[in-house]
Amino acid sequence: MSMIDPFGRRIEYLRVSVTDRCDFRCTYCMAEDMTFLPKRDLLSLEELDRLCTVFIEKGVRKLRLTGGEPLVRRNIMELVRGMSRHLESGALHELTLTTNGSQLARFAGELALAGVKRINVSIDTLDPDKFKAITRRGDLSIVMKGLDAAQAAGLHVKLNAVALKNFNDREIPSLMRWAHGRGMDLTVIETMPMGEIDQDRTDMYMPLSVLREQLDEEFTLTELPFRTGGPARYVSVAETGGRLGFITPLTHNFCEGCNRVRVTCTGTLYMCLGQDDAADLRTPMRASEGNELLANAIDEAILRKPKGHDFVIDRLTRKPTVSRHMSVTGG
């Protein structure tokens, strides 16, 4: 039975956070001293499998595993291999994940064997010192080895970079050339006002409309109809032969075609990344060995999916639009 929201959008894309924990502390995403959820609050791998399976039975065709950093979740490959049965049956069309790349050298081969064809890797700079500064604890050389391993395993890699004013905005052209030279797409993202961090986001916010104007001076960008199922709008870059994506939750929201919902590692369903309305799926799932209560809870929640979000970053709006960190909801 398909999931149709109140605005006629068919929900076919599920993003599941398997952990709120991460081995990085990116400055725009987390506070340096994060308090992570107690392990008892997290869904078990078996519960995550059951939850994802119910969504697939309801029409989800694309499943993305996120975090935190999904590959730091203990025994995560059990879940990935479990989901591969839905790829083999044809019920699920794509299984992907978003990662910071720190564990890719270890897991890339296993991911490919489990049917993962494509991954997103978050990387904001190619400068090792700036990379250490923005992630607070990341090692760029380890991520580079992970990218090598991913490509060697046959995974298609898309890089995600958050555009940050006075940090990496002038590096985007060189990052794009490097990515395209290795056969990787690049998507640039506006920083999102989610969760209290240690800095003022207005100092970091770079409207992608401004970045696009800068890139237009140097490159020939042509709009593409290409979509991966997510919110990015793509252009082709004549000079590099590659694709560049823009995710613009503030300057040009992407809500009209939203086919996505998100589930946190505690089993909370968010119908919109930028709204606080949510549905508890853990309680109905644990209340019964059958899936009827869980399925009903999902149906009721989809009927509350809003038309769009209301992200704002400015000097007057000091508080984040939503209080939870991106790592809780899933990147």
Q: Is 50 annotated as a binding residue?
A: no
Q: Are 331 and 98 in contact (CB under 8 A)?
A: yes
Q: Is 192 annotated as a binding residue?
A: yes
Q: Is 212 annotated as a binding residue?
A: no
Q: Token digits for 281? A: 């799926």
Q: Token digits for 196? A: 């209290």
| Phi–psi pair at 121, nearest 5 degrees | -120, 125
Q: Are 138 and 25 in contact (CB under 8 A)?
A: no
Q: Are 310 and 320 in contact (CB under 8 A)?
A: no
Q: Is 52 annotated as a binding residue?
A: no
Question: What is the sign, positive or negative, of the torsion defined by CA atoms of 169, 170, 175, 177?
Answer: positive
Q: Is 15 annotated as a binding residue?
A: yes
Please, is 238 exposed, middle or buried when counting C-beta atoms within 10 Å of its C-beta (0-12, 13-18, 19+)? exposed
Q: Is 318 annotated as a binding residue?
A: no
In order of 63, 94, 120, the CA distances from 31 in angstroms are 28, 33, 23
Residues 6+ apart with CB under 8 A from 246: 187, 188, 208, 212, 232, 233, 234, 235
Q: Is 265 annotated as a binding residue?
A: no
Q: Is 188 annotated as a binding residue?
A: no
Q: Is 22 annotated as a binding residue?
A: yes
Annotated binding site for S-adenosyl-L-methionine: 28, 68, 122, 192
Annotated binding site for GTP: 15, 64, 98, 158, 260-262
Annotated binding site for [4Fe-4S] cluster: 22, 26, 29, 255, 258, 272
Annotated binding site: 15, 22, 26, 28-29, 64, 68, 98, 122, 158, 192, 255, 258, 260-262, 272
